[in-house]
Amino acid sequence: MMAKWWGPKGFKVTVSEMDLRPGGLYHYCMKSPEGAEMWGKFLYKEIIMPERLVLVNGFSDAQGNLTRHPLSPHWPLEMLSVFSFIARGDKTEITVKWSPLNPTAIERKTFEEGMSSMQQGWTGTLDQLAAFLGST
């Protein structure tokens, strides 16, 4: 189901392999509207249903090897992502916190300068999730 909503608006998930457990991986490929492929992977660290999901994410190649961001060579190689879920009546509030893991000074600067673009990407992704949940 994640392949139906994951990623920025306009991107299509073409590969989606998930092992959702602590220590498990999610390996995926997204295709941009222009046809460019972007591979990524998650390493699940903590899963506390229904409250929190903690993972390390980064870009990868088709074999799952960690790679640099295809459009930003100074983007941090790995990011710690913490997703928190809070029930609010018949809705769920989702909070996403990202932080670079072991960044160099230039990686930290690139991350900080990319905050508005990340917010845009996450807004689009969560909009797609809301549409998907509304259609099920």
Residue-range definition of the domain harbouring residue 10 = 2-135
Instruction: State the pLDDT at residue 125.
Output: 87
Instruction: State the pLDDT at residue 13.
Output: 95
Average pLDDT over residues 107-113: 95
58 pLDDT higher than 80? yes
Give percent of the chain with pLDDT exceeding 70. Answer: 100
Report yes or no: 94 and 83 within 8 Å, Cβ to Cβ. Answer: yes
Average pLDDT over residues 46-75: 96
Average pLDDT over residues 31-49: 96
Average pLDDT over residues 88-96: 91
Helix (H), strand (E) counts: the chain:
2, 7
Assign 122 a pLDDT band (cuts: 50, 70, 90): confident
17 pLDDT higher than 90? yes
Q: Which tokens is 123 given?
A: 């807004």
Neighbours of 12 (CB within 10 A): 13
- Residue 129: which CATH number? 3.30.530.20
Q: Where are the alpha helices (DSSP H) in 1-135?
A: 105-113, 115-135
For the chain, what is the domain count?
1
Instruction: State the pLDDT at residue 105.
Output: 97
79 Cβ contact partners less than 8 Å away, ≥ 6 residues apart: 56, 57, 58, 98, 99, 100, 101
SS3 content of the chain, % helix, strand, coil (to 5): 25, 45, 30
Assign 106 a pLDDT band (cuts: 50, 70, 90): very high
- What CA–CA distances, in Å, run from 126 to 73, 74, 104, 129? 26, 26, 29, 5
Average pLDDT over residues 40-66: 97
- The whole-model pTM stands at 0.89
